[in-house]
Amino acid sequence: MDAVRGAGGLPLLLPPGDEAAEEILGHLDGVVFTGGGDIHPRRFGGDHHPHHYSICDERDECELRLIRAALEAELPTFTICRGTQVLNVALGGDLHGHLPDVVGDDVAHRESRDRHILHRVVVAPGSRLAEVLGTRDLEVASWHHQAVHRLGEGLRAVAWADDATVEALELEGAPWLLAVQWHPELQLDQGPQRRLFAAFVEGTRKGG
C-alpha cells in the first residue's frame, strides 16, 4: 500500500470471500496481486509438502477468479511473489512445490518465514521489465519457497536467478502486465524497484 501511495496511486484493499468480487474491477484502474501464503497444491495438480504454509482456499479461489477477470478486462495488472504464482496457475501452469528440492541451496530464495533474503536476478534484453527497471542485472528481495515451473498459456519467462529459477513473467497480448517473483516493496530505496510501482500507477492512468 505504501509503495502504491508513494507512486501517486490510491490503494484499495480487496479482501477474499466476496462472491461478486469481479464486479469491483469495474471501479478500479488496475490491480496488484501481492505476496502471501502458498497456493493449495490441488490448484495445479501438485503434491502436499511439509514446508507448505498459510494455505487459504478462500484466498486462492478469490484471486484466481480475480486475475482471470482482470486479464479479460485488460486492466493493468502487477503481480508480486505469490501473485505471480497465482497468475501462472490461473493460466494453466504449475509450480515447484518446494524450490530447494529442485534447484538445491546454491541460491537461497528464502531465509526463513520471518525474514527476506537478497539474491541476483538477470532480466531478458528487450523485455518490458528491462525497460521499466532500467537495468538487466539487479539484486532483489526474495521471500519464497515455491516458484513457477511449467508456464501457463501465453506466458514467457523474462528474468531468472543464477540457479535458473524463473523470476518474472510477461503475457503475450496483455496491454499492461508486470509479474515478478521478488518483493520490490521491500526495496523502495532503490530506483529500479520504485520504477515498477511508478510504471504501474502510470499505466492505470493511461488505461494500459
* Catalytic annotation, residues: 81, 183, 185
Using CA atoms, how far residue 164 sits from 64, 91, 105, 138, 181, in Å, is 26, 21, 12, 15, 13
Burial class (CB in 10 A: 0-12, 13-18, 19+), 193: buried
Cell of 128: 518490458
Radius of gyration, CA atoms only, the chain: 16
Which helix (DSSP H) or strand (DSSP E) does residue 90 occupy?
helix 82-90
- What letter would DSSP give residue 115? B
